[in-house]
Amino acid sequence: MQLTRRHLAPAELDHELIWLSVSLASLGSAAAWFALGLPWPHCVFHDLTGQPCLTCGATRAAIQFLHGHFLAALRWNPLVFAALCALSIFNPYALVVLITRAPRLRIVHITNTQKRFGRAVVIALLALNWIYLLAHGRNFS
């Protein structure tokens, strides 16, 4: 696996534009949702089982994160906290490379073993996050 900096190829997918757009659209949609006073989203899994799902606490974690209460966000959902930290780094990077047309960071030469390892790490993180949520039994209602 190798990290490189290069300009986009002519038909290459522009991940920075796509994911920055998704991130900003999500933030705008969430802000509009709460500004309009719409009801909080409910977790069907939690309603049916009484147990938190993999993403329970994500909305509360995001709200705490955006208010600068990072420890509270971490407590609500550690995986969402980590994702929001990553977005806090990725979004400014994406904005800068889009504005300046700078070379993009790309991971190249990934072997099948590295791909399998990456998938295993993601699955393990999801499982550990869910175990954390189940063990801490917060009130996700």
127 belongs to a structural domain: yes
How many structural domains comprise the chain? 1
Q: What digits encode the pLDDT tens for the residues 3-43?
A: 999 999 899 999 999 999 999 999 999 889 989 999 987 88
Q: Which domain holds residue 20?
A: 13-38+53-136
Cβ-Cβ contacts under 8 Å for 131 (sequence gap 6 or more): none
| d(C-alpha 74, C-alpha 64), whole Å | 9
Q: What digits encode the pLDDT tens for the residues 40-81?
A: 878 888 889 988 988 888 989 999 999 999 999 999 999 999
Distances (CA, A) of 108 to 13, 47, 105, 116: 14, 43, 10, 15
CA angle (135 as vertex; 129, 140 as ends), nearest 5: 80
Q: How many C-beta atoms lie closer than 10 Å to residue 122's C-beta? A: 10
